[in-house]
Amino acid sequence: MVSACLRAGALAAALLCPALALAQASQQAGAEAAQATSVPLVFNSPKSAHAGDIVGFQGAHFGDDPIAMLQAQGAGPAIALERINSVGGLWASFRLPPDAQGALVVRIGNAAGLGQPLTLNAAEAFHLDATQVAARGRMRVFGRNLLLPGYTPTLTVDGWPAVLDLAASDEHMLVATAPAQLLNKPQIDIRVDNGNGSGASLLERRIASSTGDGRDPLGLGVGWANAFAAAATRVLHANSDARLAHPMQCNGNQDDSRGLQEAIDLASALGGATVQLPEGHCRLAASVRLKSGVVLQGAGKARTVLLYEASYPLLGRDLHLAGLRDFSLRNAGGGIESALLQSSERVFFQNMAFALQGGVQMFLDGNTNLVIDHCDFLQPRSARGNGPFGLGNSAGLVFTHNRVVYADGSPGFGRVHDAYIADNHISRDVRDNLQSQSVVHSLPLDFAHRVVLLNNVFDVLGGPVTNKVRNDGETILSEGGGGNRTEGVGYVKSASALTLQDPAVRHNVRPFGGKDIPENYALAILGGTGAGQTRRVLDYSAGSFTVDRPWDVVPDSSSRYATFVWGLEKALIKGNTLSHNPRGIWLYQTAVRDVDIIANRITEGGGIYLRTAQNLKDKLFTPMYGVRVAGNRITNTSSEWLSYIHLAFVRMDEADFGLASIGVEIRDNTLQANQPNLVLRDEESGSVEGIVVRARFEGEAQGRSKNQTRLLGTIIQNNRCSGCNTDVLVRDGAMGTVLDGNANSVTGSP
């Protein structure tokens, strides 16, 4: 990179290589840079790194001449890393050696000494696929650096070792069998050590444990499924049990809703059971209430069909241990409400078919430990623009191997957390060639945290969607609530180790209602003293915030801050296949932290767009930290949509309020552009095919400054764009950007 800086012009050197520019200015002045008075403090650093990577660090007290020392393996001396650039005493990047391995412990230093050790490849355990584990039960742990080449991880649950299935595990997921010694406890610790010498990682959320025998009588694939053992062995036949006054007939003529309710009530009175439904077409002319401990089981999706003629044909609230399996639920009544399951725990849908026939969507929100597996959700055009379902605010969600076909609305996953969404096939249906009257997304994820999207297929039936005017068509989307914002901004009046005060501003710390501040409600220092620090907000009263851990550098009256619910946090978007929607993966005007977008394939459907934004009039600022975009393949050749990876800051007012993104990594991606390159001026991702990092200025007034640093230390390494007129474009507001190993990288205007 240093040689590339020497070959660059003056503008490019100042933009991309500020360390070199500073050194030249210092030499010309004949004086050394000012000595730092404190050792460096690092607020943001990479969590996963490989040999030869350029890695960046952000914090305070770096000084004008920061260094980095890589701790040697064994007893050897530390290794000084090649510095690539530095910016303003708060950012520096360095190159790892080509043979680097292991934990990769780095210390950032200046004239005053070395800072604390930073481990780049330590295991980070984020979440499970449930909010509880059971003895001898199956469990999945998700995070970063969990299984690395050449090392053997260990997993302990409440201090006991779990048995790992390494063949089913990888860097981001460990599959295990929970220890046999687990007892019934409300909270336990789970720790992962990847074996490279970096030590154990404590799962962020303490969860519950229970005893168990490892059985999974219904094949749900989660540890808590053993609790269905009693219900699975006690079977009640809804068409022939002598205790039923009105057995179900399922002949397509008789109303079977009363008989089904009688069977459910009897199963509940017995202490829980499986209600076996007969083959045939069963009419439901009234709503049937589900009950705890009861499983409804048919003879198969095509063999048992419940035709519902009234809203809420199956209705469940506040249930425990209940489920539906092996039958179809089909709307026969037009625009009526579908099944409803809310605020329940340890519930499931398995091998079901839900044919909504244009009726109102399914309401499946607020559930804890919910499995939906091998189900079909079929929703054609809806008169009210309804999608198939909403799973909002569900925790311990396992949504796997499902088929979703819809024409309007969106399958809703807003505010889900501790969730695993994998191996699904989700199709937008445009075969009737009518423009939807609703905004359509394939998988919206507003305010989701601790969530995995793995190996899903997203496509279009009758596509591609070629509408270039409507603000529509994102495939995977997080947009911070759209018009329902959670943000606030302010200027620090005072602070202490665990507080921040700004009495002049009132913040909405409970944007979703309820008595508790959301777990993912945060505060970020954007500018001034302590810029780059983020904390969770634990309490707020009379203009005073209490945060979850002490500030590394206590903010002062020079500091500017923003509050928000993270739009997406601790998330993995990996191995998904996207095609023929107008837009690919968009993290749009939303606060983001610790998100990996890895090894996805986008074909004829746009690209990856990361948008940060500032609008102080609306009290909005949305930063991004710890985002990694790596190994994705984006191909657009039909002249419908552009191939791009675009990091943007959009400024809607002039004030220099702070840093919008820090250390976004764009590595090892492959793009195939249209020939000739496509220009879509109405598409927000811009008119450039390739990788773009830049600020955008809306409603710009004469004389506004464009050189404020908003996008700090973006690392763009080893990417390729076939057929791109401009492979990498870096423009206004992007300081400390690193370009390394990319083809035909340029700065300036296209």
Can you give the residue ranges of every domain in the chain? 2-84+96-113, 124-214, 225-412, 435-481+567-750, 488-559
Q: Tell whether the model's pLDDT for residue 12 goes beyond 60.
A: no
Per-residue burial over 312-337, b = 16 or more CB atoms within 10 Å of its CB, e = otherwise:
bbbbbeebebbbbbbbbbbbbbeebb
Q: Tell whether the model's pLDDT for residue 704 goes beyond 60.
A: no
Q: Which amino acid is located at 304 in the chain?
A: T
Q: What percentage of the chain reaches a pLDDT higher than 90?
A: 82
Mean pLDDT (the chain) is: 91
What is the rounded radius of gyration, in angstroms, for the C-alpha atoms of the chain?
A: 27
Q: Tell whether the model's pLDDT for residue 654 goes beyond 80.
A: no
Give the pLDDT confidence of 706-725 residue by residue, as tens digits.
567 899 999 999 999 999 99
CA angle, 634 then 635 then 639, to 5°: 130
Tokens of 636: 């657009």
| Adjacent-strand bridge partners of 625 | 593, 662
Is residue 696 very low, low, confident or very high in pLDDT (cuts 50, 70, 90)?
Answer: confident
Q: Which residue shows structure tokens 């199963």?
A: 267
| Adjacent-strand bridge partners of 185 | 209
Q: State the pLDDT at residue 703.
A: 46
- Contacts with 400 (C-beta within 8 Å, 6 or more apart), sequence order: 221, 371, 372, 373, 374, 420, 421, 422, 423, 424
Q: How far apart are CA 179 and CA 181, in angstroms?
A: 5
Q: How far apart are CA 338 and CA 329, in angstroms?
A: 9
Give the pLDDT confidence of 217-262 residue by residue, as tens digits.
999 999 999 999 999 999 999 999 999 999 999 999 999 999 999 9
How many Cα atoms within 13 Å fall on the side-chain side of residue 577? 9
Q: Tell whether the model's pLDDT for residue 285 goes beyond 70.
A: yes
Q: For 721-748, what is the mean pLDDT?
A: 86
601-603 vs 577-579, strand pairing mode: parallel
Just give the CATH number of 225-412.
2.160.20.10
Give the pLDDT confidence of 318-376 residue by residue, as tens digits.
999 999 999 999 999 889 999 999 999 999 999 999 999 999 999 999 999 999 999 99
Q: For 462-485, what is the mean pLDDT?
A: 82
Reduced to 3 states (helix: H, G, I; strand: E, B; else coil), residue 12 is helix
Just give the CATH number of 124-214.
2.60.40.10
Task: Give Cα 502 to chain centroid, integer Å.
Answer: 31
Q: Which residue shows structure tokens 């707020």?
A: 540
Q: For 76-99, what is the mean pLDDT?
A: 95
Q: For 371-400, what is the mean pLDDT?
A: 95
What sign results for the dihedral spanned by CA atoms 72, 74, 75, 76?
Answer: negative
Q: State the pLDDT at residue 737.
A: 96
Q: How far apart are CA 64 and CA 23, in angstroms?
A: 9
